[in-house]
Amino acid sequence: MDRTERLARNIMDDIGDHHIVVLCVLKGGYTFCVDLVEYIKVLSRNSSRSIPMRVDFIRLKSYCNDHSTDDMQIIGGGDLSILTGKAIVDTGKTMKVLLNHVEKFKPKMVKVAGLLVKRVTNGGGYKPDYVGFEIPNRYVVGYALDYNEYFRDLNHICLINENAKIKYQI
């Protein structure tokens, strides 16, 4: 929670007086997004400036078991014309496809916040603007992150062991 509050402070410093559209990437980003938005609201209430903010949702699906697939599905986000001319703070993990999609709506600014960033050798060179923690390249669950829709309900983040991967694979 301390790190999420720090990210909210950094976002407020960078955004200035721009209107913000928070685009939450479901399902794995919803808990972090809710916490981040709450900190931004609290900081805004306790400062001399009020930052108008909207929240919208989009869903990306790219995993089967613990492997990322090449089949990226963008689900939801029906009318993203609300992004035109707005500053966007996004939370999520599969950003290149989403950012290409979002840029079609000509936002004024796009910033990406990610609670976790994995240390990978061939990550494609993409790194969020705001990073909570850098973690080893291991599959984690909890805090809305899942393994085939299981474990989202955990209040903490943890590694999934091989027995659980076998038990819950599809």
For the record, the structure tokens of 142 come out as 């909890």
In angstroms, rounded to a whole number, what is the distance separating the alpha carbons of residues 36 and 88? 13
pLDDT in tens, the chain (170 residues): 999 999 999 999 888 778 888 988 888 889 999 999 999 999 988 888 778 889 988 877 666 566 665 565 666 655 555 555 544 444 544 677 778 778 888 888 888 898 988 887 665 556 889 999 998 888 899 999 999 889 999 999 999 999 999 999 98
The confidence score (pLDDT) of residue 86 equals: 46
Could you tell me if 88 and 23 are in contact, meaning their C-beta atoms sit under 8 angstroms apart? yes
Could you tell me if 25 and 5 are in contact, meaning their C-beta atoms sit under 8 angstroms apart? no
The confidence score (pLDDT) of residue 59 equals: 79
The confidence score (pLDDT) of residue 128 equals: 87
The confidence score (pLDDT) of residue 107 equals: 85
In angstroms, rounded to a whole number, what is the distance separating the alpha carbons of residues 149 and 145? 8
90 has catalytic annotation: yes
Amino acid making up residue 104: K
Note the residue count of the chain.
Answer: 170
Q: Which of 56, 66, 79, 90 is catalytic?
A: 90
**CATH class for the region spanning 2-136:** alpha beta
Residues 6+ apart with CB under 8 A from 99: 110, 112
Domain boundaries, the chain: 2-136
Q: Is the pTM here over 0.85, yes or no?
A: no
Alpha-helix residue ranges (DSSP H) falling in 16-118: 30-45, 95-103
In angstroms, rounded to a whole number, what is the distance separating the alpha carbons of residues 87 and 21? 6
For the record, the structure tokens of 68 come out as 């990322």
Calculated CA dihedral for residues 107, 40, 114, 5, nearest 10 degrees: 160
